[in-house]
Structure 1
Amino acid sequence: MASQSSSFLFQLLHSGEYSDFTLVCQEQQFYLHKAIVCPQSPVITAALQGEFQEARTKVLNVEAFDVATVRRMVNFMYTEEYEVGYVHEASGSATGHETERTEVTEALLCHVRVNAIADYYNVSKLTQLANSKIQSILRDSWLAESFSHAVKEASVSTGDVALHDIITSTAAYHIEELVEFQSFADLEVMSEFSIKVLRSCARRICDIESQLQYIQSVCKKEAVRADRVIGNIDNCLRTLSACSNDLVVIQGELS
């Protein structure tokens, strides 16, 4: 039933039938329906119902975002999904790696821009979906260069706290690689001081990991040694028990 409903709404979107307001971005017009869009965006609702010009003209101009991003938001409002293309697995060739890097970067940037427009118009479910897609790429198709581009885009385009948390936690997880990556160090959000601190933290993490590996190695050796000692003790106890039995027999024969 949900799939049939989405299909119907998608057809309604593309036909423009029964449209009662228009979203305009760079001369591209989207003929939309308040009954579908307004429940998902209190910002658009306020613009169409208040004392603004949009309430009179039924035309809402979008200037802060590109057409592709607006289209993805609109598609989501009618289908609960949006597409940016596919991120392919890397091939073994240099060209393949370059293609993968470009695709991963473009996909991340598209999702960050979708997050930005969702945050701007307060479309909470779209914000969550965009963040989920961003997390999937960062988990399954990690590339430091692509991540750096995404950080740069997010720092200037969206105030979504959840996305900023995703970015900072991901940066912390990959900090050893990122602090040596020049495009990350060159980000405007990164000062020379903060980069030095992060590099010091990364070195400290490496030292702690080395110490942990050494301790684990020592513990493993001690565990093996303890097992060997316990085995020797068991052998000694069995020998003592056998000697004790022999002594009892000898005492019985003497008596």
Structure 2
Amino acid sequence: MQTNQPFGNLLLNLPEYYDSPTLSDGTITCDGKEFRIHKIVLSAQSKFFLNAFEGKWKESVEGTIPLNDDDVSAVEAMLRFLYSFDYDAGGGATDVASPMVFNIKVYSTADKYDIPALKSVASQKFKASVKTCWNMDDFPHAVAEAYGSTPPNDRELRNLIVDVACEHITELLQKQGFCDVLGETIGFASDLVQLQASKKSVAKKSDQTRYRCPNCSEHWETVGSSGSGYYCPYCGNHRSNWRSYIVDN
């Protein structure tokens, strides 16, 4: 217990230094807002910030890193995570984005600034939110945001979205917003069709029964597993019951 105490104290006390002037040696600016930071905390968890603070350019010398192209609420969530290893999936009092959309923004911010642990947490939070909020009006916005902010080879959020959409496709197709995003979002319809096809293929295969003919030794398949009244398609051998000749697929 004593060996874990220093680590426990670190986790307990580090959040108190979030946006604190105490021992602060740098600043992050975004959309007119300033966050006081501690370079060692950011650099220990992000190669981007490590390289930024080690560089020789003006920002690194002055200790101020502008992130003006990013969503300020996502940046705030990123910084909170770096100090507390978690963030509020609601975004904050002034954030109007849904939990789904907000978690996507945090995920893409974590990817941009090379923070794998935050990407993992954002993905988990997005998974929880999309499973419960898929029927809300902002689900199409989440689809567009995920496909617009992640590269095609990053399947983490895309797969979660496609899985949920495939599961609830009948209900979703009744919504104009979903139909619009289905036609407008590059790659989404293709991903959805591929998943539906693979599910049908698996379902069809699982419903097939494979037999070995005792007369000609050929293997053949039928849909269902009644095992009665079949003719071997190779030699014409007929049996009233084929159950004893079922083999594994």
Tell me which interval the TM-score lies in, with the shorter structure as reference length: 0.5 to 0.7
2:62 counterpart letter in structure 1: T
Determine if contact 1:144/1:181 at 8 Å carries over to the other structure.
no
Q: After TM superposition, list the pairs within 5 Å mapping 1:122-133 onto structure 2.
A: 122-133=114-125
Determine if contact 1:144/1:178 at 8 Å carries over to the other structure.
no
1:10 corresponds to 2:10: no
Deviation at 1:141, TM superposition (A): 4.1
1:134 is aligned to 126
Determine if contact 1:54/1:60 at 8 Å carries over to the other structure.
yes
State, as a whole percentage, how many aligned pairs show the same letter.
Answer: 27
1:54 counterpart letter in structure 2: E
Determine if contact 1:73/1:126 at 8 Å carries over to the other structure.
yes
Indicate which of 37, 43, 56 corresponds to 2:42. 37
Higher RCO (CA-CA < 8 Å; seq separation 6+): 1
Determine if contact 1:144/1:177 at 8 Å carries over to the other structure.
no
Q: After TM superposition, list the pairs within 5 Å mapping 1:1-255 onto structure 2.
A: 1=5, 4-85=9-90, 106-143=98-135, 145-159=137-151, 160-187=154-181, 188-189=184-185, 194=189, 198=193
User: What do the CA deviations read for 1:217-249 (whole angstroms, capped 9, x no partner)?
Assistant: x96xxxxxxxxxxxxxxxxxxxxxxxxxxxxxx
Gaps of 5+ in 1: 87-102, 220-255
Partners of 2:187 and 2:108 in 1: CA distance:
24
1:172 counterpart letter in structure 2: C
Deviation at 1:6, TM superposition (A): 2.8
Partners of 2:40 and 2:150 in 1: CA distance:
27
Determine if contact 2:74/2:109 at 8 Å carries over to the other structure.
yes
Determine if contact 2:90/2:102 at 8 Å carries over to the other structure.
no
Deviation at 1:110, TM superposition (A): 1.2
2:177 counterpart letter in structure 1: S
SS in 2 for 1:15: coil
Partners of 1:137 and 1:58 in 2: CA distance:
36
Deviation at 1:33, TM superposition (A): 1.1
Gaps of 5+ in 2: 208-222, 227-249
Change (3 A) 1:46 1:177: same
Determine if contact 2:80/2:87 at 8 Å carries over to the other structure.
yes
Deviation at 1:17, TM superposition (A): 1.1
SS in 1 for 2:28: strand
SS in 2 for 1:18: coil
Deviation at 1:12, TM superposition (A): 1.7
Partners of 1:82 and 1:29 in 2: CA distance:
18
User: What do the CA deviations read for 1:164-184 (whole angstroms, capped 9, x no partner)?
Assistant: 222233333333333443212
Deviation at 1:124, TM superposition (A): 0.4
- How many residues align? The count is 199
User: What do the CA deviations read for 1:42-101 (whole angstroms, capped 9, x no partner)?
Assistant: 112222212433222211001122322111110100010001339xxxxxxxxxxxxxxx
How large is the RMSD of aligned CA atoms in angstroms? 3.8
Partners of 1:151 and 1:3 in 2: CA distance:
39
Deviation at 1:13, TM superposition (A): 2.0
User: What do the CA deviations read for 1:105-142 (whole angstroms, capped 9, x no partner)?
Assistant: 71111111110110110110000000001111223444
Partners of 1:156 and 1:67 in 2: CA distance:
18
Partners of 2:114 and 2:167 in 1: CA distance:
29
2:241 is aligned to none
1:237 is aligned to none
Which structure: greater strand fraction?
2
2:185 counterpart letter in structure 1: V
